[in-house]
């Protein structure tokens, strides 16, 4: 479980292939150059492949909630090395919500499990910093179709306006960090960020365990876990 240490987009953390870096000291991906993402800043631990991908699949489909603690610890490592997260004032951790029907089916929200693991680590280091993660700050108002196979534009349309904040007082003027297991185009996290900002959240950062990007296709290592249904995570 090695963190990604190659080049990244300075804003959204997208791992970049080396040829994208020619002639630019601070690299930005095309989405960030065009200001298409709703959150202010994002980082991931590593690419969605290999042992990390297997762990995420076991968390989601093997109902191994304890894996959330381990993945949260990886995110704590990203957090404490990055001044953007360290500079937030009493940030609220907000896991990307599942639709209630999906959550009943799965039994738990994998992003909540990761966020709780992260919160515990951060509180152990600095007890006053972060409140325990609570669910329901952000809700998914309707189920969404699978994102897999959709163009970036269609992905944005698919998740536009599906998130809402039931009690805006809980996030107004607060710094928020959205937590997700896998980030792909950033469309889901953007939609979440837009909902939070529309009710007055101050800074909205994102932090995900893994990034799936066509620049670095998955290593289809099914042999490690042949019985796991590798259902696209976006069917939520």
- How far is residue 182's CA from residue 179's CA, in Å, rounded to a whole number? 9
Binding Zn ion by CB under 5 A: which of 8, 16, 27, 29? 29
Task: Determine if 182 is a binding residue for Zn ion (CB under 5 A).
Answer: no
Smallest distance from the beta carbon of 124 to Zn ion, in angstroms?
31
Rounded to the nearest angstrom, the gap between the alpha carbon of residue 114 and the centroid of all alpha carbons in its chain is 10
Give the binding-site size for Zn ion (rule: CB under 5 A).
6
User: Which are the contacts of 229, defined by CB distance < 8 A and separation ≥ 6?
Assistant: 61
Q: Which is nearer to Zn ion, 26 or 173 (CB)?
A: 26
* Stretch (H or E) spanning 46: strand 41-47
- Report the candidate in 92, 112, 93 with the shortest Cα–Cα distance to residue 102: 112
Among 32, 67, 177, 193, binds Zn ion (CB under 5 A): 32
Q: Which stretch binds Zn ion (CB under 5 A): 30-38, 44-52, 154-162, 218-226?
A: 30-38
Looking at 12, 71, 115, 171, which residue binds Zn ion (CB under 5 A)? 12
Q: State in angstroms the smallest separation of the CB of 17 from Zn ion.
A: 13
- Listed in sequence order, the DSSP H helices in 95-148 are 100-106, 110-125
Nearer to Zn ion, 30 or 131 (CB): 30
The distance of closest approach from Cβ of residue 43 to Zn ion in the complex, given in angstroms and rounded to an integer, is 11
Residue number with CB closer to Zn ion (14 or 96): 14
Structure tokens at 104: 């009943």
What sign does the CA torsion over 39, 45, 48, 53 have? negative
Rounded least distance, CB 15 to Zn ion, Å: 10
- Pick from 9, 27, 113, 176 the residue near Zn ion by CB under 5 A: 9
Residue in the structure block whose two tokens are 């696209």: 232
φ/ψ of 178, rounded to 5, equals: -80, 135
The nearer residue to Zn ion, 90 or 153, going by C-beta atoms, is 153
Which is closer to Zn ion, CB of 9 or CB of 98?
9
Site stretch for Zn ion (CB under 5 A), options 9-17, 111-119, 128-136, 207-215? 9-17
Written as one string, the DSSP assignment of 150-196 is --HHHHHHHHTT-EE-S-GGGTTT--EEEEEEEESSSHHHHHHHHHH
CB of 41 to Zn ion, least distance (A): 10
* Cβ neighbours, 10 Å, residue 124: 9
What residues line the site for Zn ion (CB under 5 A)?
9, 11-12, 14, 29, 32
């Amino acid at each position: 479980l090695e963190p990604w240490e190659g080049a990244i987009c300075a804003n959204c953390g997208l791992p970049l292939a080396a040829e994208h870096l020619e002639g630019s000291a601070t690299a930005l991906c095309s989405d960030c150059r065009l200001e298409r993402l709703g959150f202010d800043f994002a980082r991931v631990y590593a690419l969605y492949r290999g042992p990390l991908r297997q762990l995420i699949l076991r968390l989601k489909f093997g109902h191994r909630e304890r894996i959330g603690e381990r993945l949260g610890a990886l995110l704590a490592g990203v957090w404490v090395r990055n001044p953007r997260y360290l500079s937030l004032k009493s940030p609220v951790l907000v896991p990307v919500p599942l639709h209630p029907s999906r959550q009943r089916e799965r039994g738990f929200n994998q992003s909540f499990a990761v966020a709780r693991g992260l919160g515990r680590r951060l509180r152990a280091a600095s007890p006053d910093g972060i409140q325990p993660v609570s669910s329901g700050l952000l809700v998914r108002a309707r189920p969404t179709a699978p994102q897999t196979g959709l163009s970036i534009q269609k992905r944005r349309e698919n998740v536009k306006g599906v998130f809402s904040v039931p009690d805006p007082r809980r996030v107004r003027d607060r710094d928020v960090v959205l937590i997700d297991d896998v980030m792909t185009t950033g469309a889901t996290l953007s939609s979440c960020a837009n909902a939070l900002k529309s009710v007055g959240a101050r800074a909205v950062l994102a932090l995900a365990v893994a990034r799936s990007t066509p620049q670095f296709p998955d290593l289809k290592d099914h042999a490690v876990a042949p019985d796991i249904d590798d259902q696209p995570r976006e069917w939520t």
